[in-house]
Amino acid sequence: MAKNNYISLIIKKLKGDISLEEQSVLDVWESQSAENGQLVKEMEEDWAAVENYESNTDVELDLAGDFKALQQRIELDAQMESMPKDNLRVAHQPIGKVVKMGEKSSTRWIGWASVAVIALAVGFWFTSNPTTAGTEMLAVETGNQDKQTIQLADGTKVYLNEHSSLSYPAAFTADTRSVELTGEAFFEVAKNAVKPFIITTNKAKVTVLGTSFNVRAKIAETATEVVVKTGKVRLENTEGSKKVELVANQKGVYEASNNKIVQSEEMDMNEMAWHSDKLVFKNSPLKEVIADLSNQFDVSIQLENTNLSSCEMGGLFKVSQGIKEILDTISKDFGMELKELGNTSFELIGGTCK
């Protein structure tokens, strides 16, 4: 998600219109750096100043409209790339439109009273992102059972899993090809030895020159997982103090809770089943099969007869079959009863090893 989108979330929070999911996303972003936390603090202070602003004349404010207009105004300004270092001060110049109720055909522009929050936010955004000035930012979000394929300007293909979002520039004009991911995606990165491809998540960063790999970084999970199919990537925390290089058939997991990266030499291809549409099990213990299915379909599966946990099974399933059909097949193989506890909860009752 681009920084201006986070600014929009802050404004929604200040207005009391933010959802629980949006608040969770904002909380994670705010905790990522002192810079983000400072931006939230300053916007809250300016917002409070606006609310406490006393005037004998009623004033109509359209903060959302001013914010959008200001973004368009700055993006269309061809001189923005040469803006001096003190562009935060420049951005605070009078830009917001205020209409005095009852005043005949009177319009005035002010900087701090009506749109201090918007001016600060966009000024801060351009101060922190000079390389994106004048570059259109795009975003794709997927919902339940929704997957999208996006081709970026450099030829890179991104396969976005459900409940995920990708923010990226319309053109890669900087020294790096940078995108932001929330959720899960499979990348087929176009090779460019002089312009690294960088994926930033809410917890970690992945850098690559040309390869295909899967990245899982969901807001509700504390770990960022990278599974490499071809090529070579570098997984690191946001500060760059912890890092590991991964090659084909390797997996790296960065755990934000303890700031550690674990590298594995054995890759579970089922972790990319959402993209390949294949779930393959070869003499796999039933407890591992259930774990893979739970992870793939984001459901809860209870095994009532725990004695079956180590029973081995094999088989090939398509993700497109759906969890109910797959569990129905497994339950019949082991003589179990499949009980549906809800749309996202199942129980396997009884049964014996084959």
**Cβ–Cβ under 8 Å, residues 279 and 317:** yes
Q: Which residues contact residue 20 at a Cβ distance below 8 angstroms, ignoring those fewer than 6 apart?
A: none
The pLDDT value given to residue 334: 92
User: pTM for this one?
Assistant: 0.56
**Cβ–Cβ under 8 Å, residues 282 and 265:** no
**Cβ–Cβ under 8 Å, residues 252 and 281:** no
81 plus 113 within the same structural domain: yes
Query: What is the rounded end-to-end Cα distance, in angstroms, of the chain?
Result: 49
- Taking residues 331-337, what's their average pLDDT? 93
Domain limit, last residue, from 248, 269, 290:
269
Structural domain of residue 232, as residue ranges?
137-269
69 within domain boundaries: yes
Taking CA atoms, 67 is separated from 36, 96, 197, in Å, by: 19, 9, 31
Packing angle, helices 34-51 and 20-32, rounded to 10: 120
Residue with tokens 């390869």: 211
Distance in angstroms (rounded) separating the CA atoms of residues 163 and 197: 23
Tokens of 50: 């606006």
156 plus 257 within the same structural domain: yes
Residue 340 pLDDT > 70 = yes
- CATH number at 345 reads 3.55.50.30
147 plus 100 within the same structural domain: no
Tokens of 292: 């893979």
141 plus 128 within the same structural domain: no
- Taking residues 245-259, what's their average pLDDT? 89
Q: Which of 287, 274, 261, 257 is nearest to 318 (CA)?
A: 274
Phi, psi of 170 (to 5 degrees): -65, -30
165 plus 253 within the same structural domain: yes
Domain limit, last residue, from 269, 304, 322:
269
Tell me the pLDDT band of 7, cut-offs 50, 70 and 90: confident
**Cβ–Cβ under 8 Å, residues 141 and 165:** yes
Residue 221 pLDDT > 50 = yes
354 within domain boundaries: no
44 within domain boundaries: yes
Distance in angstroms (rounded) separating the CA atoms of residues 316 and 65: 53
**Cβ–Cβ under 8 Å, residues 224 and 259:** no
Highest-scoring range by mean pLDDT, 83-87, 274-278, 302-306 = 302-306
58 plus 76 within the same structural domain: yes
Domain limit, last residue, from 84, 99, 132:
132
142 plus 204 within the same structural domain: yes
**Cβ–Cβ under 8 Å, residues 350 and 336:** yes
Residue 116 pLDDT > 70 = no
pLDDT in tens, 163-176: 999 999 888 888 89
pLDDT in tens, 22-64: 777 777 777 767 777 777 887 787 777 655 654 444 444 454 5
Domain count, the chain: 3
Residue with tokens 């890759």: 267
Q: What is the mean pLDDT of the chain?
A: 75
Q: Which of 128, 106, 145 is nearest to 42 (CA)?
A: 128
pLDDT in tens, 64-107: 555 555 455 445 443 444 443 333 332 333 333 333 333 333 33
